Structure 1
């Protein structure tokens, strides 16, 4: 027979399960944001994972204190060293992605134009002079 006490325990268990399911979905959204950010910066996300670190109060863009979830992850540039990073989320919205300092190469574009002599250019672009 189902008593009021049993119903209360079942409701508490259902609430805990729903909260865990919701947190898993938020973790997946954080993982997607980190993957996009790493791809944009040409970094490799290690372990394809973000790990929950803590819940804390943090200020959002409007300066209000809100409950934020903080996740840790690791990335690499060269494949040799691991560098830490964090993502802070307010609900389903990523607020801040912070990366530890890491080495990077400055990519220079190959020269797109030829170097020509000034005298040659003047000959080709000669104007009529009186």
Structure 2
């Protein structure tokens, strides 16, 4: 027979389970946002995961204090060095993604037939003048 104490313990376990299920869903959402951000910047997310660093009260864009989850992750540019990053989530909404300084190379498009170098154009037109 169920007593009031047993029902309380069952409700406590159900609440803890629901909270863990919800937290896992938020972690998966943070992971998806980090993957999108890394893909946009042409970075590689290492280990394919984010790790909860802490739960804290942080100010949002309007200056109000809200409960935030801060996750850590690592990324690489060259495949040789690991760089840390963090993502701050207010519930299911992304507050910010911070990346540590990392080296990157400036990609210049290869010259094509449509691009005319100004120096070459000047030299060819100076020869044509009498």
Which TM-score applies when normalising by structure 1?
A: 0.88
Q: Return 5+ residue gaps in structure 2 as ranges.
A: none
Unaligned runs of 5+ in 1: 124-130
Shift of 1:111: 2.9
In the TM superposition, residue 114 of structure 1 has moved relative to its aligned partner by 2.7
Alignment partner, residue 114 of structure 1: 116
Residue correspondences, number: 122
- CA drift of 1:29 comes to 0.2
Alignment of 1:28-47 (within 5 A): 28-47=28-47
1:110 deviates by: 2.3
2 CA distance for matches of 1:5 and 1:93?
38
- Cα distance in structure 2, aligned partners of 1:108 and 1:5: 70
Q: Distance in 2 between matches of 1:38 and 1:89?
A: 17
Aligned to 1:62: 62
Q: Map 1:14-93 onto structure 2 (within 5 A).
A: 14-93=14-93
Q: CA RMSD in A?
A: 1.6
Deviating beyond 6 angstroms after TM superposition, the runs of 4 or more aligned structure 1 residues are: none
Q: Distance in 2 between matches of 1:67 and 1:5?
A: 31
> Distance between the aligned counterparts of 2:38 and 2:121, measured in 1?
44
Residues 8-55 of structure 1: CA deviation (Å, up to 9, x unaligned): 000000000000000000000000000000000000000000000000
For 1:61-119, what per-residue CA distance to the aligned partner results, in whole angstroms no more than 9, with x for missing partners?
11111000000000000000101000000000011100011110011122341335342
TM-score, length basis structure 2: 0.88
